[in-house]
């Protein structure tokens, strides 16, 4: 984890903190959507 942080801090010109945060929010939303979809499918199958 610290290695990634070091790379991001070195490439701070390439990375904007807001971009990283919005990207992680997007990924979390995707994961939640996927989990909900899987849960719904299991409910339908049962």
Structure tokens given for 17 = 């903190």
Rg (CA), the chain: 17
Q: State the pLDDT at residue 44.
A: 86
Domain locations along the chain: 15-46
pLDDT tens track, the chain, 46 positions:
577 667 666 666 656 777 888 889 999 999 999 999 999 998 888 7
- Cα–Cα distances (Å) from 36 to 6, 19, 29, 45, in that order, read 34, 26, 10, 14
Half-sphere exposure of 16 (CA within 13 A, CB side): 4
Looking up tokens 């942080």 gives: 5
Q: Residue 35 in contact with residue 27, Cβ under 8 Å? A: no
């Amino acid at each position: 984890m610290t290695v990634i942080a070091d790379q991001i801090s070195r490439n701070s010109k390439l990375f904007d903190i807001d971009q990283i945060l919005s990207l992680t929010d997007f990924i979390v939303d995707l994961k939640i959507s996927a989990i909900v979809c899987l849960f719904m499918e299991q409910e339908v199958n049962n």
